[in-house]
Structure 1
């Protein structure tokens, strides 16, 4: 207790700085989805090939996921504020290029640069939280704000994107990034302190490249399997990822000062939090996608209507993230995560019932319920991950936290998406032609009559099955959290955060 009493508490300046840090987090999550709304107009204007159109949508997420850990390490070495400001400048410049792209290759290059810049923003903001808020109570509250800002971006992204596309051209969805990045560049140097590991050598670029290839290959393989099934291309990507990961680990053992200190994983507290984070985002990202599909194809809402229907879940997520630090002292960190998983399990079960009955109100309520439950899980795991490493490694820990989010989400989308496709096709066994059609065509505006009803019923069955699986996984997550807490004295470690 004396040790905690000696730590400074956050004041007005620190919380104002936190408000500035929340801004790029809003854009980070918005830009993961906002392009989807602009695809029809963008495709008509730039006339991309099918492969180019796919890369326009996917390359942002690919580069983002691959670069998160290297960028977190770079922040530790060159300065987290410096990396954040350079990332803000690059993100704004890339957004400007994207807004006025005149060809498909130009748009793909701009989106790739945006992904790289976003990878500099996310771990920098999280690592700076630990510098601004050294006291655990303040840090937990700040991480709740940090988590909530991502949810807010995801909730308002489709709404803002839909409104902009209703009245302006498709480039406007990128131009909204500019004033936020400008505000960060103006206020950041005045409010944000610089922090870095002054004793560390320059980053090892060979290690950074190897780590980037390892993560990029893994994410690409997962998404390739999710969309096209197992193929030689996915196998090559996975093999390349494994080889790069092995070479990376061997190189770290030879370096006097490793690029990424693998000893962090020896901490049960750190490794347990990463594992739980991956499991949580597995069910979260998978169900976010399936609910979006159900709202648009199962019920027939437009994209803007689906965004409005999903907005209450974003509010529930924000409430859960902000309330978590206040509840944690009563239940303990692991206890709160277990309760959050159980609440989410109930929400997933309700989502399954809503999918089978076609009840829109029940689906919205279920979406709110599992969002409310998962928010404390993510808030607490992030707090544990960042709080369990020395301040000199805060950037690397933040990068690993964000990378675990992306990998867990990619696995969730791949597994639940594959299950959805399998159950959907099995449910259409009496309609073989319909089962072979793309889901967007079978459930699109040109479909009608008995075939449309059959396809919607099949989709409802598929989402029901996936939702019940998520409910079972969430219950396992609660049990795993409690088992890990009580094993080898880990209860004290996790509750001491």
Structure 2
């Protein structure tokens, strides 16, 4: 049995799909794995980038944040565009751009050009993710098949995250930091070869016009809010930070008002009046903030504090990421029989225990301890993400699958931005306040060592043994004091997500 053609929006002759539908899913997993590999590979390349390009702490955070920031700002727009011009077409355009810009990022000679390349990757990446999830929604009409397909899709993120540290470790031990961006090229080639034959095109049969004002408002909402959070965390409360957040909130309110007045809105705000939809989106947002923020500080702790190589540091996290994959798949039969208001909170409480254990150590946790904590973290979040993503798609009309998928992805990418912007900025501010620098450092060395732990490690390599040892001890202690605080914040976010699940999903069967 072949997958039905879905360009008309009519009801397919058969709801369940056969081997060709599952083959199409395998092709759609390629960009999913690519994006998740790209995220975790970059985390493990941070020390190498810090030493090679000597960025400031703020530049380092922007290099990480600009990709998910642009991605989050454009996901709803691109999801709506895919509904109009065809989701497969948008997927192929985005894949071509992503591959080309990845090569440019690998060759970037400065942190400024690397930030620009990461922004361009976010632009093309925004074409990829809503397309994959909305195509899955269109192909798999049977809910049991769709739940399994979404579990596989969600597991693709975890699989890529598990592969990223290992692949990144191998590349970083033998090649320069830019090699981690070249992973995109061999992953995208099979997509171009197979997608035209296996993946059916789908679109909204009555899409309406594309509203440029709504696109602009979505960007003006996202950019100032994230900038304001970063500014407040690093520079304290001032007019700039508060005004930026206020500007973003005002633009967001105007965006919501405009969508309610348009005949064919870019984002149907009526979706959010369904508690299962809005609750699932918020659960995704909070849990991803905690998870991505944790990856930011744990990857640096393993390499720069415990002194592990990139490959060994990656292997420490692999058990937790594999657990996330298995949890996402094994929760499928459970979710068919147990209410989501039970499944999701139980999973998230397990994750909160893992995060809390890191907080109890005050950040001074061993590699074995981190491995165990990440197993608990992956177990809960893997199960919760599968169920919440399925709820998002199940509560949206099939012809609006692109927009609904974009909302799900926006929650994920906004969570990634806020994870590094909040937990990362708090960690950076805590490090700056606690680190003690030797008086013999030059002004340039003082600036580098005071900004990031990676900068301190780089400066220590230029000092005599006694001074280097004193600087490293102070820098590592300052960094870990921030790790403990960030871990407790992550624990609180996961508990908040569990409470949201209990309240918003209590009537969902």
Q: CA RMSD in A?
A: 3.5
In the alignment of these two chains, the number of paired residues is 484
Equivalent residue, structure 1, for 2:104: 97
CA shift digits 1:447-494 (9 cap, x unpaired)? 6656655654554454334434443443443343223333xxxx2xx2
Equivalent residue, structure 2, for 1:370: 377
Equivalent residue, structure 2, for 1:124: 131
Conserved 8 A contact 1:283-1:412:
yes
Of residues 171, 182, 194, the one that matches 1:187 is 194
Equivalent residue, structure 1, for 2:491: 471
Of residues 419, 427, 444, the one that matches 2:457 is 444
Q: Distance in 2 between matches of 1:346 and 1:50?
A: 30
CA shift digits 1:93-126 (9 cap, x unpaired)? 2223334556776655443222111111011111
Equivalent residue, structure 1, for 2:258: 251
Farther-moved stretch of structure 1 (255-264 vs 346-355): 346-355
Q: Which secondary structure does the structure 2 equivalent of 1:177 belong to?
A: helix
Equivalent residue, structure 1, for 2:148: 141
Displacement of 1:321: 1.2
Displacement of 1:15: 1.4
Specify whether residues 129 and 421 from structure 1 end up closer, same or farther in structure 2 by C-alpha distance, changes over 3 A only. same
1:359-398 equivalence runs, <5 A = 359-398=366-405
Conserved 8 A contact 2:435-2:474:
yes
Q: TM-score, length-normalised on structure 2?
A: 0.83
Specify whether residues 101 and 320 from structure 1 end up closer, same or farther in structure 2 by C-alpha distance, changes over 3 A only. same
Of residues 331, 354, 357, the one that matches 1:324 is 331
Specify whether residues 101 and 419 from structure 1 end up closer, same or farther in structure 2 by C-alpha distance, changes over 3 A only. closer
Of residues 284, 291, 308, the one that matches 2:315 is 308
1:44-443 equivalence runs, <5 A = 56-100=63-107, 107-355=114-362, 358-417=365-424, 419-420=426-427, 437-440=450-453
Q: Which secondary structure does the structure 2 equivalent of 1:331 belong to?
A: coil
Farther-moved stretch of structure 1 (49-58 vs 337-346): 49-58
Specify whether residues 388 and 301 from structure 1 end up closer, same or farther in structure 2 by C-alpha distance, changes over 3 A only. same
Q: Which secondary structure does the structure 1 equivalent of 2:207 belong to?
A: coil
Farther-moved stretch of structure 1 (71-80 vs 200-209): 200-209
Conserved 8 A contact 1:226-1:413:
no
Conserved 8 A contact 1:299-1:358:
no
Equivalent residue, structure 2, for 1:482: 502
CA shift digits 1:399-423 (9 cap, x unpaired)? 1111112223433444434554676
Consecutive unaligned residues of structure 1, counting only runs of 5 or more, are 1-5
Specify whether residues 132 and 229 from structure 1 end up closer, same or farther in structure 2 by C-alpha distance, changes over 3 A only. farther
Consecutive unaligned residues of structure 2, counting only runs of 5 or more, are 1-12, 461-466
Conserved 8 A contact 1:354-1:362:
no
Specify whether residues 362 and 119 from structure 1 end up closer, same or farther in structure 2 by C-alpha distance, changes over 3 A only. same
Q: Distance in 2 between matches of 1:53 and 1:359?
A: 25
Displacement of 1:188: 0.8
Farther-moved stretch of structure 1 (142-151 vs 154-163): 154-163
Q: Distance in 1 between matches of 2:132 and 2:479?
A: 39
Displacement of 1:312: 1.8
Q: Distance in 2 between matches of 1:397 and 1:7?
A: 24
Q: Distance in 1 between matches of 2:137 and 2:311?
A: 37
Conserved 8 A contact 2:46-2:300:
no
Displacement of 1:42: 6.8
Conserved 8 A contact 1:354-1:363:
no
Q: Distance in 1 between matches of 2:180 and 2:426?
A: 33
Q: Distance in 2 between matches of 1:205 and 1:168?
A: 43
Specify whether residues 223 and 185 from structure 1 end up closer, same or farther in structure 2 by C-alpha distance, changes over 3 A only. farther
Q: Distance in 2 between matches of 1:39 and 1:472?
A: 26
Q: Which secondary structure does the structure 1 equivalent of 2:316 belong to?
A: helix
Conserved 8 A contact 2:16-2:140:
yes
